[in-house]
Amino acid sequence: MQWLAIAVGGALGAILRHLITIWCSPVFNGKFPLGTLVVNITGSFLIGIAYILIIHRAMLGEEWRLLLMTGLFGALTTFSTFSLESLILWHNGQPLVAIGYIVGSLVSCLLATGAAVALAARYF
């Protein structure tokens, strides 16, 4: 059952990531990886909520942890793509954009996770 939870969550996360990337692509005409930034911030926020609900409050069981935290958020967020896109921006002669993307991504994702943990701890 655990493998199934991971597989279902992973499939849903991958599909959601693809849809968000397509939806965000026209914003900068494909010149800035907005879709990756959006999925990483969203995933960071959601994993913060899941962390409180599943780990700290024990409101959901192990299968839910595997489905959400390992499967869904693991497939939704994409650090390897973030790394590659950062290098591509740099190699395409946009070092300041690359640095801004790296710093913006890290700070935004940390803030999203921190906000989610604080909100979930307070309201759940």
Number of H-type helices and E-type strands within the chain? 6, 0
Residue that is written with structure tokens 């024990």 in the block: 58
Can you read off the two tokens belonging to residue 32? Answer: 């800035």
Alpha carbon 62 to its chain's center: 21
Cα(2)–Cα(55) distance, rounded to whole angstroms? 17
Cα(105)–Cα(100) distance, rounded to whole angstroms? 8
Q: Is 83 exposed, middle or buried (0-12, 13-18, 19+ CB in 10 A)?
A: exposed
pTM for the model: 0.83
Cα distances (Å, whole numbers) of residue 116 to 15, 89, 119, 123: 23, 30, 5, 10
Q: How does the average pLDDT of the chain come out, rounded?
A: 95
Whether residue 78 has pLDDT greater than 90: no
Q: Of all residues in the chain, what percent carry a pLDDT higher than 70?
A: 100
pLDDT tens string 23-72: 999 999 989 999 999 999 999 999 999 999 998 899 999 999 999 999 99
**Domain map of the chain by residue range?**
2-123
